[in-house]
Structure 1
Amino acid sequence: MTTGTETAPFRRAIGIEDLGDGRFTAELGQHWTVGPKAHGGLLLVLLTRAGLARLAADAPGAAPDPLAIAADFLRAPDPGPVEMTTEVLKLGRTASVVQVRMTQGGKAMLAATVTGGVLPADEPQYAELPEMAAEPPADAFDPGSAETVFGLSTSCDLRFDVSSTAFMRRAQAAPVVRGWTRPRDEPTDVLYALMAGDILPPTVFNVGGRFGWAPTVQLTALLRAKPAPGWLRVESRSRTVAGTWFDEDATVVDAAGRLVCQARQLALAPLPR
């Protein structure tokens, strides 16, 4: 179980144990949470690790990169043990696909498909990226220094762009939030880039007093490249907030200015206050 003072808290939090027969177990810690529930981005990483481990076991000598993960959030797991079962749907030369299901206490929590292959190393021929500094500016907000600590800031480095977090000033603005993140005491790798696609506060917080728990219902993430060392810059934006639903698109760019992750989710919006 991870704590805010351990070395490499992200790596510790995503440890999995092979139980054989395509089954894996993991322990959800107390610090990678949103309120009392496990953080959705961390759950994606655990599902991805289990799926890639199964693909590597079925194709000895292969070490596939994660290319995509599509996950349905059926229930929100609590801190504690979870079990993951895997089923290979395709083993291919370019892309392989494995189904992963996560359970806790005998109940289904998440169901996902993980696509593995080889991430490109070439420079992109075209990229349309958000305009953000490679590192957080001096006036970026550190949620770990606040009186009410944003939970994830105890286990990773986070900074918020103050111009995009109107909800922190009890104001309203467009549903766009920007920030920066990096792991502590370990390299910035592709699995951390995956988690970064769901690491910022919900964009809907900026809209009409909608502040509170905003559970993800479905999330699809695409990994585009292995990140360079250093900070990841993240921009999340909603296209539509309607009724009880909102969408959120996250773009994750590494320190070298390369797109490393895209994530799109459908989530439940808190009721206006």
Structure 2
Amino acid sequence: MTTTGTATAPFRRAIAIDDLGDGRFGAELGPHWTVGPKAHGGLLMVLLAQAGLARLAADAPGAAPDPLAVAADFLRAPDPGPVELTTEVLKLGRTVSVVQVRMSQGGKAMLAATVTGGTLPDAEPHYADLPDLPADPPADAFDPGSQEKAVFGLSSSCDLRFDQASMPFARREQGPPVVRGWTRPRDEPTDVLFAMLAGDILPPTVFNVTGRFGWAPTVQLTALLRAKPAPGWLRVESRSRTVAGTWFDEDATVVDAAGRLVCQARQLALAPLTD
């Protein structure tokens, strides 16, 4: 299995899994889908979903469930390299099915999650309260991939743009814990799995509050998928409700090019202690 930041359809290649039998799957964490030296949390969520959905499809032949929710505890931070995903079906149902997925690396547990599968709605919503962001990034949006040394390794594998007005930390200033941006995959359609990844793609909102930079490890992350996205850019807004001690929360809202909510993500994370 090869994972590269420059090959055709890099997202699809990065989330490929191998069926090892007995409900086990193998995957390779590539060097590009990272934040610093560690594997990107959004990509790990997608791999958990991939394994869970593959197990559900195997146990119910003919079914092709959509991801409805993924709730994951981040026990350790895996490095680039091989991982194994072990699955156990908790429920097979007509409307909702649930499978438990564990990710391990080098014999150690890395993540533990439940993946809920079903059918995503395609009807227009009765009500929606969504962030006010243009469908496409404006000309002055910051492209992290344009930097000679990108902090976000994944900016070499997908298109990213950040709203500079919502990133005072980049100017060594402080401001409210709200960050906005846009993202889309390269050389492939925008799908629901990429929408899940987008729920964890922006810089930590806590940077705006503390003025500190560094690794902000996720402790728990839950993604709710709400619809299959339309082609084009995904617009993302992430905000914290409380920053207290070393802990902060983030709520991310992902809206597709048609103005429809496609993913909600909430996480609990640890703030960087030093720059």
Q: Which residue of 2 aligns with 1:97?
A: 98
CA–CA distance in structure 2, aligned partners of residues 173 and 203 of structure 1: 10
TM-align CA RMSD: 0.8
User: Does structure 2 conserve the Cα–Cα contact (< 8 Å) formed by 1:208 and 1:272?
Assistant: no
CA displacement 1:216-256 (0-9 Å, x = unmatched): 00000000000000000000000000101000000000000
Gaps of 5+ in 1: none
Rounded to whole Å, the distance in 2 between the matches of 1:6 and 1:176 is 33
Q: Do the aligned residues in 2 keep the contact of 1:209 with 1:272 (CA within 8 Å)?
A: no
Q: Secondary structure at the match of 2:101?
A: strand
Q: Is the 8 A contact 1:22 1:54 kept in 2?
A: yes
1:265 and 2:267 are equivalent in the alignment: yes
Letter in 2 for 1:129: L
- 1:35 deviates by 0.9
**1:211 and 2:213 equivalent?**
yes
Write the distance in 1 (CA, Å) between the matches of 2:231 and 2:267: 26
Q: Which residue of 2 aligns with 1:180?
A: 182
Letter in 2 for 1:215: P
Amino acid at match of 2:106: G
Q: Tell me the equivalent position of 2:242.
A: 240
Post-superposition Cα deviations, 1:248-268, rounded to whole Å, max 9, x if no partner, equal 000000000000000000000
The 2-side partners of 1:50 and 1:5 are apart by 24
Deviation of the 1:272 alpha carbon: 5.5
Q: Give the equivalent residue in structure 2 for 1:228.
A: 230
1:2 offset after TM fit, Å? 2.4
Distance 1:176 1:210 in 2: 15
For 2:239, give the aligned amino acid.
R
**Equivalents in 1 of 2:34, 2:114: separation in Å?**
23
- Residue 66 of structure 2 corresponds to which residue in structure 1? 65
TM-score, with length taken from structure 1:
0.99
- Once the two structures are superposed, what CA deviation does each residue of 1:59-92 show, in whole Å capped at 9, x if it has no partner? 0110000000000000000100000000000001
Q: Which residue of 2 aligns with 1:15?
A: 16
**Counterpart amino acid of residue 92 in structure 1:** G
1:131 is matched with 132
CA deviation profile, 1:177-205 (whole Å, cap 9, x unmatched): 00000000000000000000000000001
Q: 1:194 aligns with which of 190, 193, 196?
A: 196
Structure 1 counterpart of 2:46, one-letter code? V
Provide the secondary structure at the position in 1 that maps to 2:210.
coil
Aligned to 1:207, the other structure's residue is in SS state: helix
For 1:54 and 1:132, locate their aligned partners in 2 and report how far apart those are by CA, in whole Å.
37
State, as a whole percentage, how many aligned pairs show the same letter: 85
Segments of 4+ in structure 1 off by > 3 A?
none
CA distance in 2, matches of 1:83, 1:99: 14
**Following TM superposition, by how much is the alpha carbon of 1:147 offset from its aligned partner in structure 2, in angstroms?**
3.0
For residues 12-43 of structure 1, what are the alpha-carbon distances to aligned partners after superposition, in whole Å with 9 as ceiling and x for unaligned? 00000001110000000000011111100000
Supply the distance in 2 between the matched residues of 1:64 and 1:203 (Cα, whole angstroms).
33
Question: C-alpha separation between the residues in 1 aligned to 2:26 and 2:3?
Answer: 16
What is the alpha-carbon distance in structure 2 between the residues aligned to residue 254 and residue 125 of structure 1? 17
Q: Shift in Å at residue 211 of structure 1?
A: 1.3
CA distance in 2, matches of 1:129, 1:135: 16
Are 2:159 and 1:152 aligned? no
The AA in structure 1 aligned to 2:67 is: P
Number of corresponding residues: 273
Does the 8 A contact of 2:31 with 2:153 survive in 1?
Answer: no
Q: TM-score, normalised by structure 2?
A: 0.98
Letter in 2 for 1:156: C
